[in-house]
Structure 1
């Protein structure tokens, strides 16, 4: 696995003479942030050796290199999910490659269902913690060059960046929520009892991604900041569709883009 990670990173470096400081993962309906990047190069996932290919509508499927908020970034316009049939190790493969390319920070985003009844559709929730219900990507032999056997997840979502985000949001008048994200396998939207369970165990929002990538990033010592866009309210009993989730993600994407851009300036 380590050889494949290094080989893929080497391929990208040979194609793109650009060393990113920050990696960004864009969730369902949130690919619009890419429009704000002063792009110097892009690569379709299909061009990259050993890279998975996104099969989900709303995930463009390319790496974008450029400047955002005065920082060198590489953005994943489209991510990979366990429910697509990929192993947890394949899901986090791009994060490991981005680390090899030089990132020190990872900004993650996702579309999620609201569990906290005080939330509303379209809210931005800064992730302060998570509960991972997806098979852990670190299961199996540990690669010591990537990180320790038992990484500490106490500061999974960096407290300093969360405080900076609060100050940015106040200055830019961007309303924020804060809470715990629950990562489930999907691909079904949750039942009412499952939403109730997630609430009971401390969740504020639930989705089908993010936690594996964050685990892999922290395993490698990458600092993480995360935002969930609340695209539907789970406990209302209303049916959810992928099209609605995409639509709400697009609406909230402009505020998330502003938050990410201004926060990057603070790094």
Structure 2
């Protein structure tokens, strides 16, 4: 039994709940945890393959409970590539969730706004991403039952994206769909880089989410992505960027973030009740060979 399978077995022992939905809380989304009615709370250090969180704003624990009446795994915080972890290590929680039977994964993060309409306090429903982290989490050994060359033409599930937009309208939260660009960090971007990213079609920039999304798709898990815009990207504001600014802006947007994620969970539960539960195997659409 590998680490993800051990973690899944551990979760099953802690709670009889078998959630189809998991939510990863990034910076700016900590308030969501207060909305969960917990059945069990597990520190990351107790779970095989999970890394303790060292970044302010990331609690480092997994909550099993109900959000808006829907069973959910809530991951309060994540490990980051810039902390020195390997891609394989920091994506182990996603593999554990897939092993536990999760069908859909909502990845949240704090991001810098590149698009002129994305101001601090607004939200971006991620429709696609650009990976400029300089690494891919699928590099190396292929886990049993998975394929190496997965198709990423639809990383972010279109139906879940529409569900997110409807959830936002229901609670009157400002949101738009767009492209998230991931860099490795930890330094913030230069104004020249932001101009380049804008020319590539990026709407927001951050330092997470993409590795988890790629691994989730390899595991056959549907993905939704949500960014809380906590600052204007470099060159868009006269003020220097800082992590304290990100945390402060995230705290101000916390109530709206909680309403939005809670609304999404409720909408997801309603949609699941009206459709058969999907399997947890890898996506059937795969590339059969690498690009030379």
User: Is 1:110 equivalent to 2:102 in the alignment?
Assistant: no
Structure 2 counterpart of 1:136: 136
* TM-superposition CA deviations, 1:223-259 (whole Å, max 9, x none): 1111101111012242111111011112222222222
Distance in 2, matches of 1:61 and 1:167, equals: 30
Structure 2 counterpart of 1:232: 231
User: Is 1:211 equivalent to 2:206 in the alignment?
Assistant: no
Contact 1:138 1:216 in 2 (8 A): yes
- Please report the RMSD computed on the Cα atoms of aligned residues, expressed in angstroms: 1.4
Contact 1:29 1:59 in 2 (8 A): no
User: Is 1:101 equivalent to 2:97 in the alignment?
Assistant: no
Distance in 2, matches of 1:164 and 1:13, equals: 28
Contact 2:28 2:257 in 1 (8 A): no
Structure 1 window deviating more from structure 2 (118-127 vs 103-112): it is: 118-127
Contact 1:181 1:205 in 2 (8 A): yes
User: Is 1:32 equivalent to 2:31 in the alignment?
Assistant: yes
Contact 1:124 1:252 in 2 (8 A): no
Contact 1:192 1:237 in 2 (8 A): no
* TM-superposition CA deviations, 1:131-188 (whole Å, max 9, x none): 012211000122242x322111111111112222222322322221221000110000
* TM-superposition CA deviations, 1:183-211 (whole Å, max 9, x none): 11000011111111111111110001000
SS across alignment from 1:130:
strand
SS across alignment from 1:260:
helix
TM-score (norm 2): 0.87
Structure 1 window deviating more from structure 2 (207-216 vs 4-13): it is: 4-13
Distance in 2, matches of 1:29 and 1:261, equals: 14
Change (3 A) 1:49 1:162: closer
Mapping of residues 17-166 of structure 1, within 5 Å: 17-134=16-133, 135-145=135-145, 147-166=146-165
Structure 1 counterpart of 2:175: 176
* Unaligned segments of structure 2, at least 5 residues: 269-292
Tell me the matched-pair count: 265
Contact 1:107 1:224 in 2 (8 A): yes
TM-superposed deviation, 1:118: 2.3
Distance in 1, matches of 2:114 and 2:172, equals: 24
Distance in 1, matches of 2:151 and 2:250, equals: 31
Distance in 1, matches of 2:117 and 2:263, equals: 26
TM-score (norm 1): 0.94
Change (3 A) 1:210 1:44: same
* Unaligned segments of structure 1, at least 5 residues: none
Distance in 2, matches of 1:25 and 1:124, equals: 16
Structure 2 counterpart of 1:262: 263
